[in-house]
Amino acid sequence: MKITTYNPIKNTDCCFDSDSFFDNSFPFGGSMVKSIEPRVNIKDENGAFFIEASVAGYNKDEINLEMAGDTLTLSGSKKENKKTEDDGYRKKEFFCSNFNRSFSLTEEVDRENISAEVDNGILTVKIPKKEKTQPKKIQITVN
């Protein structure tokens, strides 16, 4: 038997898109911390896997890449303070944006030589494959 909790107020966020009036500050369901998963492309070519993640707006110091066991985790955190004045009204907004994305790796990858670089808002993670060991032919001699 599977037990699932349901919070009808929290699930009202799905009724509003991210550009709506309520955005993520809707008092019952959202929060001021916006959690996203970056979109990725995954390629398998030239003896390596490549993960390309869209991290536009994040600088290198706001992105973290960790390897633990068989899991590669990409995460990031960004905080901004904005002050604006408009028509005599003054408002202050605090914005946080976090992301976290994990990938399970197989035994065929070389975990020691994973590398990453950021260019024009795209993080490219290169995960090289281990060299496949070929079966060794054993010479049989006759006595």
Residue 11 has pLDDT above 60, yes or no: no
Q: How far is CA 20 from CA 66, 122, 143, in A?
A: 34, 27, 85
Element (H, E) at 137: none
Task: State if pTM tops 0.75.
Answer: no
| pLDDT given at position 89 | 61
For the chain, which domains are there? 32-128 (2.60.40.790)
Question: Which residue type sits at 139?
Answer: Q
- Beta-bridge mates of residue 95: 80
Check whether 139 has a pLDDT greater than 60: yes
Tell me how far apart the alpha carbons of residues 63 and 29 are, in angstroms, rounded to a whole number.
27
The pLDDT tens digits for 56-67 are 888 888 999 999
